[in-house]
Amino acid sequence: MRILNRIRQYRIYRRLVISYLLTIVLSITVVSAILYTLFSAKAVTEIDNSSKQMLSQVSYTANVVYKQIQDVMNQLLVDDDINAFLYARDDNKITDYKAYLIISKVQSIYPFISNISLYNFSNGQYIDAIGLPRDEKVADPAKKQFINFYPRTARKDENNQYQLLTFRIVPEWQTSTNIPKSALVIDLKLSYQ
């Protein structure tokens, strides 16, 4: 109580107390600003490193999947029964059946492949391993590339809906009509882990 009375009475005590409080507030502010700056810089560095590691893992996984798709594609495109289906001028049930056996066998080997389908645009034939409907984007002339991919949703029936990453491989284009002669489509399960 005596100290408070002295602070009220004497101006010098008031100045000492005010300067002491200002020094404390200023010190706390400077230390807080320095700590905040250091923490922010460290947090940004850690987030940057974490993002780089995550992107590196995603890039590695994407490269592995793409390499696997290329291997499957090459395996299918060198098969005589697949080529007989893709380039057949007329509908032949034996050729269709042999191609179906090959794609269903390959599809069952790879657990991340949901479906493999073959399109022959010359004779209008289509086969796939699990019975999905045709994908209308396969014959899109705007994407005149050998291989490209896109996400899609396919519905087999009302109970079976598939979230897919579709790889479209078009070996040859008709120059006069600008539509593909045939296509190989490999659908990956988006939910596969």
Q: Which fold has domain 79-189?
A: Beta-Lactamase (3.30.450)
Domain spans of the chain, in order of start: 2-68, 79-189
Centre a 10 Å sphere on the Cβ of residue 86 and count the other Cβ atoms it contains.
24
What integer pLDDT is reported at residue 24 of this predicted model?
95
What integer pLDDT is reported at residue 141 of this predicted model?
67
What integer pLDDT is reported at residue 25 of this predicted model?
94
Distance CA 160, CA 180 (A): 29
Distance CA 116, CA 75 (A): 13
What integer pLDDT is reported at residue 173 of this predicted model?
64
What integer pLDDT is reported at residue 131 of this predicted model?
86
pLDDT, tens only, 110-131: 888 989 999 988 888 999 988 8
> Residue 131: which region, alpha, beta or left (left: phi > 0; alpha: psi -120 to 50)?
left
93-109 helix and 11-77 helix, angle to the nearest 10 degrees: 140
What integer pLDDT is reported at residue 94 of this predicted model?
92
Instruction: Please identify every stretch of the chain with a pLDDT value under 50, giving residue numbers as ranges.
Output: none
Letter for the amino acid at 8?
Answer: R
Centre a 10 Å sphere on the Cβ of residue 113 and count the other Cβ atoms it contains.
22
